[in-house]
A = this chain, B = another copy of it.
Amino acid sequence: MSAGELRGRKPRADVQRNRAALLETAQRHFLQHGVGTSLEAVAKEAGVGPGTLYRHFPTREALLAAVLQTRSEELVARQTDIERLDDPAEALEQWLRAMEEYFSAFSGLPDPLMAAARAQEPDNPLTIPCDILIAATDQYVRAAQLAGRVRASVRGQDLFLAACSVAWIKGTGTEEEPLDRLRTLIASGYREPDTQA
């Protein structure tokens, strides 16, 4: 029993190979056909049987969460950029935009996301990222409120919902123009009106 073997034997090579192939293929299919894409098709194109897919990812949500992992890391990276901003209102705005893009990664993504955000099933692999995002949003909201830039009644959860909604609408194929008016409307809704001199 050498150093690295404390937890059983070394992981098999094919496991890692298949997992990688599945993730790569799944991402492509989610992009092209939305989160409802056929998992059988993913398995076939990844060159594995359905059984292998389901052993690696027992549910569609598990596969989705794994594919989303990469994107999550991009979000975290953006966060460090955003936190450097002086203006907390601007930071909040950019954060909301980043979340919206994250939610729009695949068409139909907002639905399982909302399901995970609501439910207290801790076995849903999407629940954790959702909770993290809500908490992060709340941070940005509070900072902007301290600076008097956001209405006191607003919660992080509210803007999480709003970002999710916009992403949902985007996913239904609405054009950019009305979408942008909706974003503006929401911004007017959470911002503290200018108490200008």
Interface residues of A (CB under 8 A from B): 111, 114-115, 118-119, 151, 153-155, 157-158, 161-162, 164-166, 168-169, 172-174, 178, 181-182, 184-190, 193
Contact = CB atoms under 8 A, between A and B. Distances in A.
A185 B186 contact: yes
A158 B186 contact: no
A190 B189 CA distance: 7
Given A155-B178, A158-B185, A161-B178, A114 B169 contact: yes
Contacts of A115: 172-173
The majority secondary structure among interface residues of chain A is helix
Given A154-B181, A158-B178, A161-B178, 10 more contacts: A114-B174, A151-B188, A154-B185, A155-B181, A157-B181, A161-B182, A164-B169, A185-B189, A188-B189, A188-B190
Contact of A172 (B114, B154, B189): B114
Contacts of A119: 173
Contacts of A165: 165-166, 168-169
A24 to B, nearest CB: 29
A119 B181 CA distance: 19
11 contacts: A114-B169, A114-B172, A118-B172, A118-B174, A151-B188, A154-B181, A164-B169, A185-B186, A185-B189, A186-B189, A189-B190
Contacts of A193: 193
Nearest to A172: B114
A51 B146 CA distance: 63
Contacts of A161: 169, 174, 178, 182
A184 B153 contact: yes
Nearest to A194: B193
B169 A181 contact: no
A46 to B, nearest CB: 28
A158 to B, nearest CB: 5
